[in-house]
Structure 1
Amino acid sequence: MKYITVLGVTGSIGMQTVDVVKNHCERFKIVAMSAGYNIEKVEEILKIVEVEHICVVKKEDANYLQAKYPDKKVYYGNDGLVKIATLDEVDIVLNAIVGFAGLVPTIEAIKAKKDIALANKETLVVAGHIITKLVKEKGVKLLPVDSEHSAIFQSLNGENSKEIKKIILTASGGSFRDKSREELIGVSVEEALNHPNWSMGAKITIDSATLFNKGLEVIEAKWLFDVDYNQIEVLIHPESIVHSMVEFIDNSIIGQLGNPDMRLPIQYALTYPNRDVLVGGESLDLAKVMTLTFKKPDYERFRALKLAFQAGIDGGSMPCVLNGANEQANELFRSGKIEFLQIEELVEKALACHEKIENPTLNELIDIDSWARNFVLNEIGED
């Protein structure tokens, strides 16, 4: 039996993790879970799986849950997150928190020698230098949950990482993949949230439309697989069937294919190094798919991707600025306060105005993240 903490349980990845655990209750048990503000969904989950430890954001929500479920241990805030990420009985922490907020609990879980199933890509984007060093020191596994990085991880099974020629990250192209830059002027939030292939949370769906998501994944791949940025290529692949590939020094390419179903990489991170039946999953029928298409991205059309590559190459604190500014701008767009194309414009300005710190500490990263968010707010006249 593998005992799991799920951080961000009420989100898309979190709920699909609950589904995987429910279908393999003989193998997995969720010991602890964290949620944001969706207490109704927390109560729904408690009807599906038995969970002893719960963490929420607000003290009043914690008090409500503790009174209603006296047999549970309920925590709140950042201290609560760290508590459930470091419980003695937990084997693996699946981090599905959205954004920078996932960083500290990941660090503390690694320090407590917990294996990490990482869906919170921002952890590696902003603090890859800290995380990778800590993982080696503590001897824990860092298992990717992103479909692309899971595909690369699977493609590298049994291979010598020194023989990697390049990593090929595939991208659906997002909601606006067929629109010109001119056609992106004035697009609505609803249009941006209409992803053609994947069912995901709102923040990541907007990131997919801008291609900031792919940019963050480029930086994540650099740290996960210890490659240089000139060894990472992005291809637009509208069918989302080939989840990513690795080309080796002999020009052989190994990739992982499957229907778009996030439960597969979630389950693989939990069962690794083994596999199990994906309950309710459908086999890929290549004869039915018939055609798989790939094309190089236009870096002027997808400027966010260009910004991410450059921030990664510049290194130091630049990826933290990229991430913090994007998180804030993404939220402003979803709130109807800025236009779609302003997201990348604001991020670009933040990067241009930041004075890089070469090897930032955790405390410095927290300050830089706050600076980037405030910079974006100030640019549009918000406090």
Structure 2
Amino acid sequence: MSDTGSDRPTGALLMGRPFGVPVYVTPTWFLITGLITWLFGGQMNAVLPGLGAARYLVALFFALAFYGSVLIHELAHTVVALRYRLPVRRIQLQFFGGVSEIEKEAETAGREFWLAFSGPLLSLALGAVFLGGMQLVEPGTVPGVLLAALMLSNVVVAAFNLLPGLPLDGGRILRALVWKVTGNPMAGTLAAAWAGRLLAVAVLVGMPTVALYQAPQASMTSTLVDAVLGAILGAIIWNGAGGSIRAARLRERLPELLARALARPAVSVAADTPLAEALRQVEAAGAHGLIVVDGHGDPVALVREQAVRTVPLHRRPWTATGAVSRGLEPGLRIPADLAGEDLLDALRSSPAGEYLVQEPDGAVLGILAARDVELAFARAMAGQAPLPAAV
């Protein structure tokens, strides 16, 4: 996928394209990296007091290595998604970890399970690798401390992600299991999303409570930090769970986005027809689109509605219809039976204002306006039935 402005998160830096998938570092990553460096550097002073100020360089190395492990975790999801022919839009490294933006759902519960489990599984494997490395170095040295910290952090990442609630990997595993038992992916989503909301409340209340229990004499600053982190993490999980429900309900409605139902009736005219006359024919026929045809009656271009609006009324009798049209490129021909995500993918691959809708035998059905699809998509997101195109 090209690195367009719409693909790049605001303020993010492109770090590379492993497996053809762009990896971005968001501004919040720098914040959390700095926080990890500061906290781990303070802990290093107690473990290796002889390092002095150099402990912060060691802490920075740990923060970078930790996020390298997070990236490997996300790449595991990406590789499995690509193996199942699921497009991955991008990977983001950000506050509280990373995320792989997979644009389609797995087709079966089994694939959903492996797609979700691959990340924690690889984090556990990394933890085992670092554990093995610990056997080769002295425990009281810088390499020993770093390997121990990376082993523990990867195990924690795996354990946290396996918690059974969306949007965590464990929530997707729970969704896959409920889906497998019930045969209903929506039932799995609802079960895992509500588990995620319960988990969000538990994190919100539990993080500061556990911190106080473990260290009753902790400073007010330390307690406040735990409470703020718990609130942020709880809000992320809660919003992610709600977003999963909305996305699942939207996918249930997507099949209702059918090119045939949204196609506008259109009138065919020659390219040299005056625009005023072409618009008169459209009004007389009760149509809402214009197709430019050649001498054999075959469609060669589509009149752009936006371009028509720019032509003043007094100029329309002297403006040829072909002057406000766009040639029919291959991506502008849409099969009448195209629906749902396939329809949206077709429109994304060839951005335009209008598309020609054709029957399987090549007969012209009408014109599909991008804004009609956008309106129908918005109604589907709101849980409303898509309206047919204007007739």
TM-score range, shorter chain: under 0.3
When Rg is computed on C-alpha atoms for both structures, the one with the higher figure is 2
Identify, as 1 or 2, the structure richer in helix: 2
Q: TM-score, normalised by structure 2?
A: 0.23
Q: TM-score, normalised by structure 1?
A: 0.24
Which of the pair has the greater relative contact order for Cα pairs under 8 Å at 6+ separation? Answer: 1
